[in-house]
Structure formats: C-alpha cells, structure tokens
Amino acid sequence: MTKILSPIVADPPKAGRETSPVPPYPPFSAPTLIELPDTASSQQVVGGMDTNARMQAADWTNPNLTKSADVPAGRVIGSIIGEQAGPTLIVTCGIHGNERAGVLAAKRVLATLERRKSRLKGEIIAISGNLAGMRLGVRYQVRDLNRVWTDARVADVTARAAKPGGRAALDAEDVEQLEMLTEIRAAVARARGPVHLIDCHSTSAQGFPFILFGDTIRQRKFATAIPLPIVMGLEEHLDGVLSAYWSTQGIIAMGVEGGQHDDPGTVDNLEAVMLLGAESAGLFGAGVIIETASAYSMCERKRGDLPHVLEILSRRAITPDDEFVMEPGFANLAHVRAGRRLARDKNGEIRAPKDGFVILPLYQGQGAEGFFWGRELSPARMRLSEALRTMKVDRFLHLLPGIERTMQSKDGKGRTRLMVDTKVAGFYPRDVFHMLGFRRIRNQEAELIVERPPEQTS
C-alpha cells in the first residue's frame, strides 16, 4: 500500500538543469520542517533542528532575556471576562519556549479588547505554554511540550502529581503540562458558551504563516474565517499535539504557524489570527472591533497567490539511507507544475507527478518526511464534503466490503477509526476518506487504518 501514501515516484536521472524559481516570500532563507515531523523520531528531530545554530545565535544570548517584553510573568498572561455570556477563546503561547511572538501578540489583543470590554461577550484568556522554557530561551528542557497531549499521558501525569510527594518528582515539562491542564480545565469549567482554542507557534526559517487543524466541520468554520493559508490534513500527521488533544475534549481548536521566531511581522500575524479568531468564535459581532478589518486585509496580503485551503494528499517518507536532498528554492508552501524537479535521492530525481503544492520541504537536519504533497481544496469541494458529513455518510462506510469500524465511542468524543483491507483498499479512492474527514491514513500489516477526529457536539 505504499503506493497510496507515496504516489510520487522517482524518475530516472536526466541530464540538464532547471533554474530555481523566485521565492514568493522575501526575505527568504532555506525553509525547514520544524513543527511537523511525525513518527517516533520526531522528538529527536524537532529538538535537534531547533536547538542547533538558532539557539546559540546572538539574539538568544541576550542577558536580559528574563526581562524581555515577550516573557510572560506567569501562567496566565491575561484574560478578559465579558459581562454577557458567550463563547470562550483560549490562546496558548510559547508551548515551544523559543517561540514567544505569541505572548506579545496576546498582550496586544488583550489591550485592544480591554478598551472595548463592554462589547465583549464570553471570555478570552491567554495562557503561557512552556513558561520555564521561555524564561530560559530554550525550546524545551526534557521533552517537546507539544508531543505530550495524549489521553494516556495526560492521565499519567495527573496520577503521578496526585501521589504524595509526586509533584516534586515531576520533570520540567510535566510541571508545564500539569499547570496548562489546570488553567485550560478551569476555563472550560467556567465557560458560558462553546470553547475555542488557538495554539500559537513560530518557526526558525522564514515562510508563509499558515493555519492547521483537525478536519471537523466546526473547526473548519472557526478557522476559515481567517484568510491565511490553511493546510488540511497536517495535524493528523502529528501525534500528541495540544490542539488535537483538546479537540477530542470538545474544544474547537486550531494551531497557527505565525512566521519566523524573531520577525516582528510574526507578532502582527499572530495578533491578526487572535483577533479574527475571537470574531469567528463570536466574542464580538462582525465589524464591532475595527482592527479586524486591517487584520483581515493583512492576512490576505500575506497569503499572496496561494489558495486559501490546501489539503495534504501524501507524504514523502524518507530514511537517512535514502540520501534525500530537496531542491533549493521552495518556500514552506510552494506551487509547482507537473514535471518540476523537487528533490533527489539515491534512486535519482523526484519530480512533481502533476500540478500541485510542495508543503514543508525539508531543508535542515533529518526528518521522517522530505516534504508533503498537496493540492488546493476548492470551495466547491469544501461544500460537497460538508454536505456529505451533514448527511453522516460515514456511518455507512463500514458496510462496504473490506471496511470495518473499530473505534467510535458512543458519546461521539472518540476518534472514528476504520480498518480497510489492503486487498480492496485500492477500490476506494483516498478522496472518499478525505471528504469525510478521515485524513489520518496509515498502513498496518494487511490493513489500512483511516481515522478522523470526533465532530465536536457539545
């Protein structure tokens, strides 16, 4: 079944050179896959890549780091509770301690909304992610705080902390996770409407800011109000990320990559996402907060010629033995024409099978994928898939030959998982699964496991 996951095949080596394209997003340096490798090697990869050069660079050895404006004073950066009941928006900033642009952005948004407090419904609260990491200026100390959000690990850290003397035995990121859990649960408990969450990130290389989320109808509605590029099907490739975990807890969540860590534009991008997210969540009426208009046009401008929504069709899985080398010059989201050379490995050249998009090409360090391959998800296809899901067509998928449903909790809060016999999987275009929200597709022995996040109903 590797052909399903890797439709991009290597062409035999050919003579001749191609010219590199002009990168669409200046200033441009080699983009990197910082946030998004999956599989067991991801911690090592993520940590290794982001702690190289960048962490030793002069801008991170600022002796007054702990006094910087972008280091939060405590777990709660700030909050505003409106007099009227309404939705809640939780913003998490710096879950990677070296990504602090979100803190400044949250402070700006809180100041903007404080001035219009009487117009605000519900609550907005900004929470620090890896607080100790931010104070030290490191991505994390023991483990990546954005790979620990699974049911098993949340239960484990809670149980260990509850034992006598247990808290003292917790490591740095256990403490961070526990305190985040406490604040997020408290916000959920006092919520007077649907709860939303935006998890803010930045990257070591320049690139287009973009949004990712698990493909549920409510999360689509929340996120597509923001005109930045949206990459569907990416979160599903990641294990243990905060936004995916809270989405299984009924929260409407998205993650945002705001841009390069130190770029002032990244703060602007994250501020815009928070403002537009608050509007989309319904904390205030459309147009009530005047800054949303400029936030919207700035996001549109930064998206440039990219489509609003991209979907991942496959990942180019690699191992060190493949000797994979990406062609230079691709932005983190890059439109390519059929036949364009994308990379080389020990078998020769890898060319684009058709017109499409290279997503998160690997330029630094080692990763589990060389790049993702995707295409535009048109508004018409978005509408079609929403219609199919409203009709709950997926309820009948397991009646088809070779498809079995293995996991779906009665309360609808669990992921839905199907097992597809690989002998018949070829008869079912992946498109069908994508349309219905099943974007996590993996091989397991004689079966293809396809999963989708739960539709939030509460």
Would you list the DSSP string of 196-214? Answer: EEEEEEEESS----EEEE-
Establish if 439 lies at the interface with Zn ion (CB under 5 A).
no
CB of 201 to Zn ion, least distance (A): 3
CB of 283 to Zn ion, least distance (A): 25
Establish if 303 lies at the interface with Zn ion (CB under 5 A).
no
Token pair 């290279």 in the structure block, residue: 358
Which of 99, 455 has the CB closer to Zn ion?
99
Taking the C-alpha atoms of residue 40 and residue 30, their distance in angstroms, rounded to an integer, is 25
CB of 45 to Zn ion, least distance (A): 13
Establish if 96 lies at the interface with Zn ion (CB under 5 A).
yes
Which of 82, 361 has the CB closer to Zn ion?
361
CB of 202 to Zn ion, least distance (A): 7
CB of 182 to Zn ion, least distance (A): 22
Residue 66's CB is within 10 A of a number of other CB atoms, namely 11
Part of the chain binding Zn ion (CB under 5 A), chosen from 95-103, 261-269, 309-317, 424-432: 95-103
Part of the chain binding Zn ion (CB under 5 A), chosen from 92-100, 171-179, 267-275, 361-369: 92-100
Binding flags for Zn ion, 142-181, as an x/- string (CB under 5 A) = ----------------------------------------
Tell me the C-alpha to C-alpha distance, in Å, between residue 195 and each of 81, 147, 176. 13, 22, 21
Grouping H, G, I as helix, E, B as strand and the rest as coil, residue 345 is: strand
CB of 249 to Zn ion, least distance (A): 21
CB of 241 to Zn ion, least distance (A): 10
Contact present, 171 and 161 (Cβ < 8 Å): no
Residue 187's CB is within 10 A of a number of other CB atoms, namely 21
Total residues interacting with Zn ion, rule: CB under 5 A:
3
Which of 144, 279 has the CB closer to Zn ion?
144
> What phi and psi values does residue 315 have, to the nearest 5 degrees?
-120, 145
Contact present, 102 and 258 (Cβ < 8 Å): yes
Establish if 100 lies at the interface with Zn ion (CB under 5 A).
no
Which of 132, 382 has the CB closer to Zn ion?
132
Which residue in 54, 91, 59, 58 sits closest to 72, CA to CA? 91
- Half-sphere exposure (Cβ direction) of 94: Cα atoms closer than 13 Å: 32
Establish if 430 lies at the interface with Zn ion (CB under 5 A).
no
Residue 191's CB is within 10 A of a number of other CB atoms, namely 18
3-state SS of the chain: helix, strand, coil percent to 5?
35, 25, 40
Gyration radius (Cα) of the chain, Å: 22
Taking the C-alpha atoms of residue 47 and residue 132, their distance in angstroms, rounded to an integer, is 16
Question: Which amino acid is located at 261 in the chain?
Answer: H
Show contacts with Zn ion in window 374-393 (CB under 5 A): none
Residue nearest to Zn ion (CB): 201
Part of the chain binding Zn ion (CB under 5 A), chosen from 194-202, 320-328, 376-384, 442-450: 194-202
Grouping H, G, I as helix, E, B as strand and the rest as coil, residue 181 is: helix
Which of 96, 439 has the CB closer to Zn ion?
96
CB of 183 to Zn ion, least distance (A): 19
Show contacts with Zn ion in window 196-215 (CB under 5 A): 201
CB of 33 to Zn ion, least distance (A): 12
Q: Which residues bind Zn ion (CB under 5 A)?
A: 96, 99, 201
